[in-house]
Amino acid sequence: MHGYQVTAEMDNALRFEEFSVHLRGHVYACTRLTIGVGMGPTKTLAKSAQWASKEWPVFRGVLALTPGDPTRTANMLSLQPVQEIWGVGSRIARKLNTMGITTALQLARANTAFIRKNFNVVLERTVRELNGESCISLEDTPPPKQQIVCSRSFGERITTYDAMRQAVCQYAERAAEKLRGEHQYCRHISVFIKTSPFATEPYYGNVAGEKLLTATQDTRDIIAAALRALERIWRDGHRYAKAGVMLNDFSGSGIARLNLFDEQPPRPHSQELMKVVDGINHSGLGQIWFAGRGIAPHWKMKREMLSPVYTTRWKEQPLARIG
């Protein structure tokens, strides 16, 4: 586990590192988790500092890079491989290596116009960030999502409509839960289904959407719309490998001007019911779900190789026995 902080005015590395030591100690005392803390005038430099704090024990998990000590920053960047820079992937790193750019310091000293011409504006921002110019803003809260997608590849191919209906029901249920977690309402629900493009049988894939008159975050409305969309694109005779539900057209409230002849007016006490459902499912004491998703479907994604979640589930904590 690691953390990093970006600050616009940094002039005393010792003061920041002293704070970081106390921060590491507090986190460890409360969670028994060891974190690394990197600080810098830009996000990219802060991430590089955090990488160095873990890479070399001499830093004891804490490193602050400040404008007042450019030599320290240059020395650290000269030891950081270019592929370890935040935002630089393996493909870009290989291309940089062929150009003789193998360290973060060499990238920082590269001509920004050359980088933009041969790569893109994103890598140009990285170069500027390595030189202390803040180009990536610090977001206190992430922007609201514009789309929510819930999809999975099946553990076994689906050949019957009933099994696909259960899968779409489950994905719609999960997407609706995510939607409420974002405190959003949606007006458009889409469903896609497809066979494997690598199989020997003919490929089939399709998508359909449903537009709602009134924005909703009620799982019942989203499931009903998803199933209507599924009915339009389902074709017998295929072995389906994947399906998904997509939510779009978000708004911050479900308030809308209603029509006297609306066939589906808003459900009474919808918000209260969904709050109860989410409360039960998040309590850790049990779960409640809609019957349309089935009880023990055979098509569920195979998870035999799923890594244990040591930090969030008590039952998956490793046990040590002596004697």
Domain assignment of residue 17, given as a range = 2-130
Between CA 81 and CA 101 the distance in angstroms is: 9
Q: What local confidence, expressed as pLDDT, does residue 7 receive?
A: 45
Q: 98 and 157: one domain?
A: no
**238 pLDDT band (50/70/90 cuts)?**
very high
Q: 245 and 201: one domain?
A: yes
Q: How far is CA 310 from CA 53, 307, 314, in A?
A: 24, 9, 7
215 within some domain: yes
Reported as a single tens digit per residue, the pLDDT across 111-127 is: 999 999 999 899 999 99
108 within some domain: yes
142 within some domain: no
The answer to whether residues 213 and 165 touch, using CB atoms and an 8 Å cutoff, is no
pLDDT tops 50 at residue 225: yes
Residue positions counted in the chain: 323
Reported as a single tens digit per residue, the pLDDT across 197-221 is: 988 899 999 999 999 888 899 999 9
pTM: 0.59
Q: What are phi and psi of 2, to 5 degrees?
A: -145, 165
Q: 248 and 170: one domain?
A: yes
Bridging pattern class, strands 2-6 and 148-158: unpaired
Between 134-138, 169-173, 179-183, 263-267, the lowest mean confidence (pLDDT) is in 263-267
Q: Any idea what the CATH number is for the domain that residue 171 is in?
A: 3.30.1490.100
Instruction: Decide which of 208, 229, 259 is a domain's last residue.
Output: 259
35 within some domain: yes
pLDDT tops 90 at residue 258: no
Instruction: Decide which of 228, 259, 290 is a domain's last residue.
Output: 259
Q: Which residue has the higher pLDDT, 183 or 314?
A: 183
301 within some domain: no
Between CA 38 and CA 7 the distance in angstroms is: 11
Q: How many whole angstroms from its chain centre is CA 201?
A: 34
Counting the structural domains of the chain, the total is 2
Q: 156 and 105: one domain?
A: no
Q: Mean pLDDT, the chain, as a whole number? A: 85
